[in-house]
Amino acid sequence: MRIVLSGGGTGGHIYPAVAVARQLEAEEEPSAFLYIGGTRGLESKLVPQENLPFRAIDITGFRRSLSLDNVKTVMRFLKGVRESKKMLKEFKPDVVVGTGGYVCGPVVYAASKLGIPTLIHEQNAIPGLTNKFLSRYASTVAVSFEGTESAFPGGKRVIYTGNPRATTVSAANPKRGYASLGIPENSTVVLVVGGSRGAKAINEAMIGMAPLTKKEPNVHYVYVTGEPYFEDTRKQLREKLGSLPNWLHVVPYIHNMPEVLACTSLIVNRAGASFLAEITALGIPSVLIPSPNVTNNHQEANARQLEKAGASVVILEKDLTGESLYRSVSSITSNGELRRSMSEASRKLGKRDSAGVIVHELRRLAARK
């Protein structure tokens, strides 16, 4: 099968596309891929590292207020459509997959105009602007949260697939996670992370929480600061604590996140859709701190889905302090029954075969071509 993938801007759009590619490689022999991303997005760095052929177009997103920049964006969109049509005619894909972010707008639109079957995947509980626009042209719309199919009205085929990133983590080896952290196997790992580049508010809460942590049997806290915040966070922690205790591990970034998640007992994190797919696939209880700086406040909507199911505790950023974070974390780590019930609720929300469901739909679309 020949597949064009498109999606970008953040890892939350990129990694689901990569997960679909990996599932196709495992199930379809032979498979060929082309990833069309943006010149400015994270995909220009991440996708080549995944050994997927990559080509780029120059495209930006719309501003929500009237602006001259929006005129420039329209011009870039039209140019992107022309460039995408050229790439699609050269590659001749069976199906085009868009996983969100403004870059997939011209790619999926161009494919629909060329009569190529298309699938778009929405990771969030509240759809993004690009996917709302593309839903009028896509052959199939796939959603990550069960019950959100109604967000795409109009008679299109909308299916619940879950997030394909979940498939990637479900087979991860926890022993490798423990080993990479230097933590004894079967320890209780509390992972605190603010996203791939970190989050200032969460790092400040980490610093405030650290003096409240204490030596507990087999409990280890792992602070993932993000590269931009690492040196300053570590410096402030040392000033507060004198030296870092052996149960507190501070790192700038985790390159083997699936393996580390596989050994995690409780996670503190933002509420990006791909990360939620990963933790529910593994049944990890969570304390979620939605970013307030996202379109339509979609992270809070994502987080409330888990909270409603009993899988998570939600702290809004305006209420976040070191003390409030530690209270939430310790209430879970100190209560084995609560942690088990949250883990079970989390696992019930997970869809571990998400990538496989999407591949099945891609086969159906390719057969109709």
Does 196 carry a binding-site annotation? Answer: yes
**pLDDT for the residue 33:** 98
Question: Residue 348: CB partners within 8 Å, gap ≥ 6?
Answer: 309, 311
Helices (H), the chain: 11-27, 43-49, 68-91, 104-113, 129-134, 165-170, 174-181, 200-209, 230-241, 257-262, 273-282, 298-309, 322-333, 336-349, 354-368
**Is 107 buried (19+), middle (13-18) or exposed (0-12) by CB count in 10 A?**
buried
Question: Residue 77: CB partners within 8 Å, gap ≥ 6?
Answer: 59, 105, 106
Does 123 carry a binding-site annotation? Answer: no
**pLDDT for the residue 68:** 61
SS3 175: helix
Helices (H), 293-353: 298-309, 322-333, 336-349
Residue 249: strand pairing partners: 222
d(CA 363, CA 367): 6
Domains of the chain plus CATH, in order, are 2-163+352-368 (3.40.50.2000), 169-349 (3.40.50.2000)
Closest by CA to 218, choosing from 296, 327, 334, 298, is: 334
**pLDDT for the residue 122:** 94
Does 124 carry a binding-site annotation? Answer: yes
Residue 90 to residues 2, 17, 83: CA-CA distances in angstroms? 12, 21, 11
**pLDDT for the residue 65:** 54
d(CA 245, CA 243): 6
d(CA 360, CA 354): 10
Does 254 carry a binding-site annotation? Answer: yes
**Three-point CA angle 295, 97, 196, nearest 5°:** 45
**pLDDT for the residue 134:** 95
Does 12 carry a binding-site annotation? Answer: yes
Does 350 carry a binding-site annotation? Answer: no
**pLDDT for the residue 146:** 85
SS3 352: coil
User: Tokens in use for 268?
Assistant: 């503190």
Q: What is the pLDDT along the chain (369 residues), one digit of tens a residue?
A: 999 999 998 888 999 999 999 999 999 888 999 999 998 888 999 999 999 999 999 887 655 555 666 667 788 899 999 999 999 999 999 999 999 998 999 999 999 999 999 999 999 888 988 999 999 999 999 999 888 899 998 778 999 999 998 888 888 999 999 999 999 999 999 999 987 778 999 999 999 999 999 888 889 999 999 999 999 999 999 999 999 999 999 999 998 999 999 999 999 999 988 889 899 999 999 999 999 988 789 899 999 999 999 999 999 999 999 999 999 999 999 999 999 999 999 999 887 688 999 999 999 999 986
Task: Please give the span between the terminal C-alpha atoms of the chain, in angstroms, as a whole number.
Answer: 12
Does 264 carry a binding-site annotation? Answer: no
**Three-point CA angle 254, 284, 320, nearest 5°:** 75
